[in-house]
Amino acid sequence: MALNNQISEEYLKCLLDKSRIYMIENYLKTYDLTTRRFVPFKLFPKQKEFINALAEFDENLATKPRQAGVTTTAAAFIACVLALADDKSPETVLIVANRLDLSRLFLKKIKEFILQLPRWFWGDEYYSIDPRSDKNKKKIFEEENKDSLKLFNGCIVKAISSGESAARGVSAVSWLIFDEAAFIDNGVEVFSQAVATTASGGHIIMISTPHGKDQLYYNTYNQAKMGKNGYHITELKWYQDPRYSRYLKWHRNVIKTIDGKDIS
């Protein structure tokens, strides 16, 4: 009984925290390139800012350097959203990237985070305190392949490339994600087609490293800066990542030595 009460309390904590930060930091792990091992997913301040924005705003745009962990952070957030979804109103996630391997990688990250969660998240039909119980072996995925996932609670994740007819057959999307949005060819057309699949009240996430003045990402960013659209911007710089910022003082000294200037 004490264990059941503890599980109920933990589930409630995760459910009430709409940012999903508690759930991510207490139940998920991520691969740390600097230590080359899996570590508890402790979000740094800018990642928390991004996560809070995803929870608060319907339309989000993130600018990032490479290897910033933004895609991984978004995947962790989505995994938590799916795990806590009500089977009466399941979530549908559509991931669009310029290359299919990128969107598949995003989907794979979501799946891996879902599988990290304790079995009790899935309810009595999928969990028993008896480790020998068949409940603990019951599959939580009704469908799983490189391009799609379907959870027992009805939540669906689809990974597609940005081809002209990429979003055909997908509807009622509640989370539309554009990964490396600045690199999508014919971005405006792809965006228009994908947005047409979203449900009322759906969410849009654009993530990318900058790539010139593309039609979709660059223009959306500029319009947001001027307050001409509803996108909330989260800007992440490499020196805001604690994994790399420990070398910031050294970097600044090098820059000053070279040209007498500091980084902003």
CATH number of 42-259: 3.40.50.300
pLDDT of res. 64: 87
pTM score, whole prediction: 0.89
Q: What is the pLDDT of residues 165-177, one digit of tens each?
A: 656 667 899 999 9
How confident is the model over 123-131, as a mean pLDDT?
Answer: 93
* Contacts for 24 with CB less than 8 Å, ≥ 6 apart: 41, 43, 51, 76, 77, 80
Q: Which residue has the higher pLDDT, 227 or 35?
A: 227
What is the dihedral angle through the alpha carbons of 49, 107, 58, 68, rounded to the nearest 10 degrees? 30
Give the least confident one: 60-74, 192-206, 235-249: 235-249
Q: Where are the domains of the chain?
A: 42-259
How confident is the model over 226-251, as a mean pLDDT?
Answer: 76
pLDDT band at 256 (very low <50, low <70, confident <90, very high): low
Helices (H), the chain: 2-16, 21-27, 45-56, 70-83, 100-116, 187-195, 217-225, 242-245, 248-259
Q: What is the pLDDT of residues 18-55, one digit of tens each?
A: 999 999 999 999 988 778 899 999 999 999 999 999 99
C-alpha closest to that of 204 among 85, 17, 62, 63: 62
